[in-house]
Amino acid sequence: MENDKPSGLIMIFGATGDLANRKLFPSIYRLFQKGKLNKFAVVGVARRPLTNEQFQENVKESLSDIAGGQDHAEEFASHFYYHSHDVTSSESYIQLKDIAGKLDAQYGLLGNRIFYLAMAPEFFGTIAEQIKAQGLSDTAGYKRLVIEKPFGHSFESAKELNEKIRTAFSEEEIYRIDHYLGKEMVQNIEVIRFSNAIFEPLWNSRYISNIQVTSSETLGVEERGRYYENSGALRDMVQNHLLQMVALLAMEPPIRLTDDEVRSEKVRALRSLRPVAKDEVKNYFVRGQYGPGSAGGKELPAYRDEHNVDSVSNTETFVAGKLLIDNFRWAGVPFYIRTGKRLEAKSTAIVVQFKDIPMNLYYGAEQVLNPNLLVIHIQPDEGITLHLNAKKAGKDIETTPITLTVSNNSIDRINTPEAYEKLLFDSMRGDATNFTHWDEVALSWKFVDSISEAWETEKDSSFPNYPSGSKGPECASELLKKDGHFWWPIEKLETGG
Ligand code: NAP
């Protein structure tokens, strides 16, 4: 890593948008507040005309929900500058270059530049090409492109996009954001696995029965109907966030914790994923779409009645799947994944179910032994729970399930940095561990493509197949039942913190 207290110019394309206002400005502020940045300035770029002063007011407003958000807000906002610019027009890149040069000199930024693309993906290629063509990337310091999801729509479109941005930036200079990788408990997967003697020896097909990864949302598509119609849950969640979590759970220990070593183990795990042939998809993956329903006494519309959604849409808002990893460690262990919108609860969690002990000595009506579970709670709860069996207090030998819990909720949580804060900081320090490498993106798309092709050719006549506010479609339970398993109810495994 280059520098623990980095300096640089952050150029945000799409600076009047939702992502910039809700996530990026507050994240830069937290870094500033904690004294983690050395010297910095920010140039915001978008089409609408704004003065620097108006832009700085927007920045200050975006801090209103942060504890202590008024402290030094004026000083912080004074580092922000605005340039009204249509990213498709080459002339204004020349002005942008001029502004960047002046700010470099004014703030002593050593020519370091982060280009953050907080914009619709159709502009990514053009922006990267223009940055190169107009010389914005000819700078004495580092130049890095930070780029949001979605990275393509299929392997072919991702490859095309990658080729365009690679004309201006080398792979080492491209930081593909997967904000799940910035989450505290996702980063904790590696630590739990590789720093505990009680887990790593058991982390294989001899002792693990199955692993379940769930990411459920209570929200529907909200204002993103147009985007979601072309994406669906498979492309929006599985190709990136869920496969990234599977890779972290399945990978071999890296020889060192450097970004290239960790990535190469993740790549090997993704390469071991058994591909699902188009005619086999129905045996491994199921899909759902929410119908009308209710939650908390409120009536909720069907997906097909949402804004900018086709009234006969075939887009899935729920996916469940069974993944098999064909290597020595994992042969025969199913990794079940599921994700969906408008479900009963908002929760992301991993359940590692261990195999039963070889012989149950505690037979009898009251003597039920539960399998051992390691639950990693990612959001909204953060923590770890280990489910064990122990003796019930009293003179008879009776077993009872017990849990050991560590919860990051409460006080620690206030200090838990937001995913975007960590990722921005890492990009400025040159630590690419928690960003996705092109090889990971390519393998994930190749895996997902055969599933989306099967679903595009075969419409699902059962849609909508789960009510809003429910646990999801019945077919997700059937998928596990075939293997003699069931989904562990996350809400009953909470940290209680
Ligand atoms: P958004 O609110 O629609 O913002 C888009 C931004 O792009 C606006 O600042 C807009 O400003 C600017 N823009 C549009 N066309 C332009 C052009 N031709 N030239 C210059 N600027 C232009 O979108 P968003 O929600 O912030 O999302 C941005 C990206 O992040 C998307 O790729 C999205 O998928 C991804 N993302 C967003 C979130 C989130 O929480 N919002 C989370 C994950 C990923 P003007 O209209 O003033 O030009």
Cα–ligand 1 centroid distance for 17 (angstroms): 5
**Residues contacting ligand 1 via CB (< 6 Å):** 14-19, 46-48, 85-88, 118-121, 148-149
What are the 10-residue block averages of pLDDT along the chain, 497 residues in total?
83 96 95 95 97 98 84 94 94 93 97 96 93 94 94 96 94 95 93 95 97 97 94 97 98 94 97 97 98 95 98 98 98 98 96 91 71 95 93 84 84 64 96 96 98 95 97 98 95 62
Q: H or E element: which one contains 241?
A: none
User: Is the CB of residue 424 less than 8 Å from the CB of residue 211?
Assistant: no
338 three-class SS: strand
Alpha carbon nearest to ligand 1 atom 30, residue? 118
Cα–ligand 1 centroid distance for 120 (angstroms): 5
Alpha carbon nearest to ligand 1 atom 25, residue? 18
Alpha carbon nearest to ligand 1 atom 19, residue? 86
This prediction has a pTM of 0.94
Ligand 1 atom closest to the CA of 48, numbered from 1: 47
- The residue to mutate among 19, 126, 176, 183, having the most atoms of ligand 1 within 8 angstroms of its beta carbon, is 19
Indicate if 241 belongs to the active site.
Answer: yes
Contacts of 305 (CB under 8 A, 6+ apart): 292, 311
Ligand 1 atom closest to the CA of 227, numbered from 1: 34
Angle at 162 between CA 161 and CA 163, to 5 degrees: 90
What confidence score (pLDDT) does residue 364 get? Answer: 65
User: Is the CB of residue 83 less than 8 Å from the CB of residue 92?
Assistant: yes
Which is it for strands 383-391 and 373-379: parallel, antiparallel or unpaired?
A: antiparallel
Alpha carbon nearest to ligand 1 atom 40, residue? 19
The full DSSP string for 175-217 is EEE-GGGGSHHHHHHHHHHHS-TTTGGG-STTTEEEEEEEEE-
What confidence score (pLDDT) does residue 92 get? Answer: 85
What confidence score (pLDDT) does residue 367 get? Answer: 66
What confidence score (pLDDT) does residue 412 get? Answer: 47
Among 241, 377, 387, 437, the active-site one is 241
User: Is the CB of residue 125 less than 8 Å from the CB of residue 169?
Assistant: no
Cα–ligand 1 centroid distance for 45 (angstroms): 11
Cα–ligand 1 centroid distance for 47 (angstroms): 11
Alpha carbon nearest to ligand 1 atom 12, residue? 14
What confidence score (pLDDT) does residue 8 get? Answer: 97
